[in-house]
Amino acid sequence: MHVLITGGSSGIGKATAFAYAETGARVTITYNMGADRAAEVVERIRAGGGQAAAVHLDLEDHATIAPAVAAAGPVDALVANAVRWGTILPGGLAFKDVPASEWAAALHANVTGNALLVQQVLPGMRRRGFGRIVFVSSGIAEEGVPGPGVYGTAKMALHGMARALAWEAGRDGILVNVAVAGLTVTDAARPIPQEALDLLAARTPSRRLSTAGDMAALVLFLGSAANRNLTGEIVRDGSNAGRSAHAL
Ligand SMILES: NC(=O)c1ccc[n+]([C@@H]2O[C@H](COP(=O)([O-])OP(=O)(O)OC[C@H]3O[C@@H](n4cnc5c(N)ncnc54)[C@H](OP(=O)(O)O)[C@@H]3O)[C@@H](O)[C@H]2O)c1
């Protein structure tokens, strides 16, 4: 099994790289600005006896996508995890204030970029009669949160993409799903005050927020041969807060 994980230089992508490596899979991660962080991930996997490589891919620069996939070589599984955060960081913009340029940039990277990425891996998966594709999405897409409207809209597009692809590629042994993260405790979550994290945890069924490792385990299942015939599904991690009035 060879897996290509975009955005494997940190957070959920990095944890997913380690999770695949532990199963003996060959792992290729992509990075954008974090070449050093990606090299550390590769080094750690190799030090543990695994096979890993890192390639540059910038979802904003579509010209980098095909060369990155070519450098990775034939892949059995694609984890489309990388994200251009845009105006969600540091706190989002009110809907009325989002300029057209931000809409264009966010959709260009997070929607079209991922579509072009899938186009690069699909023919090989078809030829080999096996493929797993996992899009990493966010509870924000379905829940709606004031502020990150552009981010949520772009993530929701991935749900539509997965549904369409599941039907189009299913007969070739390719299963396509979405793993929906709630607030996940990664470095990106560090600026969030503990009080706010506790509040969100209290609104989940299991009363705890997931770690990157928890998300990695979900992605690994969806994106491996252990997933025999689950496809076109939007699978929500338990860290998604406030889906039910019971949580109030
Ligand atoms: N953490 C959460 O609470 C949470 C919640 C819901 C959904 N998610 C989703 O989970 C996924 C991973 O999130 P994370 O928290 O692990 O984020 P993260 O730690 O910020 O990692 C983001 C990754 O995306 C890469 N990236 C950034 N801009 C890119 C671009 N223009 N082109 C290609 N790659 C780019 C980064 O690469 P470099 O560092 O090398 O630049 C990094 O590897 C994302 O899809 C995110 O939307 C996360």
Per-residue model confidence as pLDDT tens digits over 142-171:
988 777 789 999 999 999 999 999 999 999
Question: Would you state the structure tokens that stand for residue 13, as one six-digit string?
Answer: 């992508």
Question: What is the arithmetic mean of pLDDT over 39-48?
Answer: 98
Rounded to the nearest whole angstrom, what is the distance from the C-alpha of residue 152 to the centroid of ligand 1? 14
Residue 14 Cβ inside 6 Å of ligand 1? The answer reads no
Alpha-carbon gap, residue 243 to 248, rounded angstroms: 10
pLDDT for residue 242? 72
Specify the pLDDT at position 145: 78
Mutate to test the pocket of ligand 1, among 4, 5, 12 (most ligand atoms within 8 A of CB): 12
Q: For residues 225 and 1, is the Cβ–Cβ distance under 8 A?
A: yes
Residue 132 C-beta-side C-alpha neighbours within 13 Å = 22
d(CA 127, CA 24): 23
CB 34 near ligand 1, within 6 Å: yes
Q: Which pLDDT score is estimated for 90?
A: 67
Q: Which residues are catalytic?
A: 151
User: Is 246's pLDDT higher than 80?
Assistant: no
Ligand 1 atom 17, closest CA: 11
| 154-to-38, 66, 93, 136, 165 alpha-carbon distances in Å | 25, 21, 15, 12, 17
* Residue of 82, 235, 212, 243 whose CA lies nearest to 166: 235
Residue identified by tokens 């090299």 is 39
CB 28 within 8 Å of CB 50: no
Q: Does position 198 have pLDDT exceeding 70, yes or no?
A: yes
Asked whether 14 and 8 are in contact (CB, 8 A), the reply is yes
Residue 186 — φ and ψ, nearest 5°?
Answer: -125, 180
DSSP code for 112 = I
- Position 248 scores a pLDDT of 55
Q: What is the pLDDT of residue 247?
A: 60
Tens of pLDDT, residue by residue over 69-127, are 999 999 999 999 999 999 887 667 888 999 999 999 999 999 999 999 999 999 999 99
Number of H helices, E strands in the chain: 9, 9
Domain ranges of the chain: 2-185+215-236
DSSP 227: -
Q: Is the CB of 134 under 6 A from ligand 1?
A: no
Say if CB 48 and CB 21 are below 8 A apart.
yes
For a ligand 1 pocket test, name from 31, 59, 64, 83 the mutation site with the most ligand atoms within 8 angstroms of its C-beta: 83
CB within 8 Å of 8: residues ≥ 6 apart: 14, 16, 17, 27, 28, 29, 30, 31, 38, 41, 54, 81
Cβ contact 135:80 at 8 Å: yes
- pLDDT at residue 188 in the model: 77
Please, what sign has the CA dihedral across residues 25, 26, 30, 36?
A: positive
- Ligand 1 proximity of 183 Cβ (cutoff 6 Å): yes
Measured on CA atoms in the order 231, 234, 239, 244, is the torsion positive or negative?
Answer: negative
Mean local confidence (pLDDT), 174-184: 97
CATH superfamily ID and name for 2-185+215-236: NAD(P)-binding Rossmann-like Domain (3.40.50.720)
Q: Is 105 in the pocket of ligand 1 (CB under 6 A)?
A: no
Average pLDDT, rounded, for the chain? 94
pTM of the model as a whole: 0.97
